[in-house]
Amino acid sequence: MKKLLLLVILLFVSSIGFSQIKLDVKASLNNVFRYGSGTERNNNLSYGKEYLEDLSDARLSVNDIVFGMRYEISKPIEYGVDFKGIRKRFIEYNNVKDGVNVRAGDFWEVISRGLSMNVFEDRTQFYDTGIDGLKAFYKHTFGDKNPVKVKAEMFGGTLQYNDFVDVTRVEIYNVRDGNFEISPVKFLNIGTNYVYAYGTVPTSSDTTSIKAYVPEGYMSFNYKNLQLFGSYAYKHVNTTPNTSYPVAISANGDGFYGSLSYSMPKIGITMDYKNYRFDLTDPGNRSADRPTKMLPFQNPPTVVKEHSSTLISRNPHVVDFNDEVGAQIDVVYAPKDNLTFNLNAAVASRHFDYSKTTSAGKVIYSRIDRSDSYVPSFDKQFSPYWEIYGEGEYYASNKLYTKIAFDRQNAITYNYINPLASEIQKVNTIPVEVRYSLDKEYTLKFIVENQWVENNIRVGDKTYMNNLVAVSLSRSPNISATLSAEFTDDKEEPTGKKNWFLGEVSYKFNSANSLTVSYGTERGGLKCTNGICRFVRPFEGFRLTLSNKF
């Protein structure tokens, strides 16, 4: 009886309190439904492929309190492990006025440019390094005449990383992070971040327990037309002995990223530099599951251009964050309001060469140090990569738009076992796009891409050509239809095909609801986004995507 009386009193007091509070209640629901049915190809094997995925993200906010959850049905899933149930959930207190944010549950976070901490989700790549735990954030400005801005953040939780190739291989980490930033003057920001993590890294025959320590310092300087940024992170990993690694490992690595941007009327220039040495190791020890590698909660800038062109994107540079030094320059020049040019050049390589000797039947690699390892090398034993891209956009009138580009990629993959078998690939691509507005509603778009590839390790012809043609008709604001065709004369194409045809129709019911349907054949290949690369297998069949926001 006493408990019941106490409950009644609490409810009564609560009703009085809430009656005096003005409630601001908002709710939203985002739903994405994906279905596909057809045939997928893996090397010379073809098999039926069907997936059905539905993701519902719901949010309810009451004043400064936000509740959120995601209910997912991925059974069968397109890539990964089947799942049905609540995948994400959180409760968050967000007081914008006082600069306070506290969140319990699932979250993603990027600190600075991601050298020590960058966890995110990319559903198109089926990549998710989200953390399940607790996060607290605070920011405040002190003073009015000479304001000093500070930001502090702490979070911790569990991260589960699923391997791309073997989806049953799972790395689990317990992560702790502390971050502090201060802006003593308007144009300067200084920050530091510290990550401590312990977890397990499965290999083919064992599981290794590790402890990792990743401190980072960074600064940004913004004054008028000049922006300067620099960040340095240090990584230390200790392993626990096991069968695969009977001796405890104490490994160090580091990484630096810097960028310089300058803009003035009609022209903007950006230069980026990377020096990633998070796990320098010899050619005989570069497995993707080694416990000393860069950890999945790190994801620094790639310092290479990401392309919208279909054929250029088929040959992406896969960044090795453990061992890569490089730079990029990007120039945008607009001599007229209707004319814009873009020039981009990038170069990258490994840091060191290695000499090979044999002792008691075992191959031993010895590093050949060089004093200028902070500069990329074009020598083939450093597996160099370089790319030059040029683009011009021209609005001839309010009806006609044209874009033409040229891209040259040159990549060497050095083979230490047999140097004569090192792969040298040269790719030249010319994409052209033309858009013409027939009237206020209808627009035609033509895309033509031609690509010439030369690869020295091919068995037959060393060169081949790829072609892409796409035609789109759209009616503003709700419907578009696209037909695309891709061709190749590559006699060593893994699927044995010489052409691929695809049709796609997209319809927007309104600004928040859309439907996309496609049918045909897709070539597949390597796909990279934000430094995350996975191989997409060739597919033939039907796909449907329905997106709704309420």
Q: For 421-448, how does the pLDDT look when each residue is reduced to its tens digit (9 = 90+)?
A: 999 999 999 999 999 999 999 999 999 9
Q: Does the pLDDT value for residue 5 go beyond 80?
A: no
Q: What is the pTM of this model?
A: 0.91
Q: Do 529 and 122 contact (CB within 8 A), yes or no?
A: yes
Q: For 377-397, how does the pLDDT look when each residue is reduced to its tens digit (9 = 90+)?
A: 999 999 999 999 999 999 999
pLDDT, mean of residues 100-120: 97
Q: For 56-70, how does the pLDDT look when each residue is reduced to its tens digit (9 = 90+)?
A: 999 999 999 999 999
- Please give the Cα distance from 141 to 111 (Å, whole number): 20
Q: For 291-346, how does the pLDDT look when each residue is reduced to its tens digit (9 = 90+)?
A: 999 999 999 999 999 999 999 998 899 999 999 999 999 999 999 999 999 999 99
Q: For 483-542, how does the pLDDT look when each residue is reduced to its tens digit (9 = 90+)?
A: 999 999 999 998 889 999 999 999 999 989 999 999 999 998 888 888 888 888 999 999
- Please give the Cα distance from 115 to 274 (Å, whole number): 11
Q: What is the pLDDT of residue 20?
A: 60
Share of the chain above pLDDT 90, in %: 81
Which residues have CB under 8 Å from 474's CB, separation 6+? 442, 443, 445, 480, 481
Q: Where are the domains of the chain?
A: 99-296
- Please state which of the ranges 203-212, 441-450, 474-483 shows the lowest mean pLDDT: 203-212
CA triple 308-311-312, angle to 5 deg: 60
Q: Give the 3-state secondary structure percentages of the chain, helix then strand then coil, rounded to 5.
A: 5, 65, 30
Q: Do 198 and 158 contact (CB within 8 A), yes or no?
A: no
Half-sphere exposure (Cβ direction) of 289: Cα atoms closer than 13 Å: 23
Q: What's the mean pLDDT when you consider all of the chain?
A: 92
Q: What is the pLDDT of residue 527?
A: 84
In the three-class reduction of DSSP (H, G, I as helix; E, B as strand; rest coil), residue 205 is classed as coil
The CA-atom distances, in angstroms, between 436 and each of 97, 398, 474 are 48, 9, 11
- Please give the Cα distance from 531 to 314 (Å, whole number): 14
Q: What is the pLDDT of residue 167?
A: 78
Encoded tokens for 311: 């054929």
Q: Does the pLDDT value for residue 370 go beyond 60?
A: yes
Burial 315-348 (b: 16+ CB within 10 A, else e): bbbebbbbbbbbbbebebeeeeeeebebebbbbb
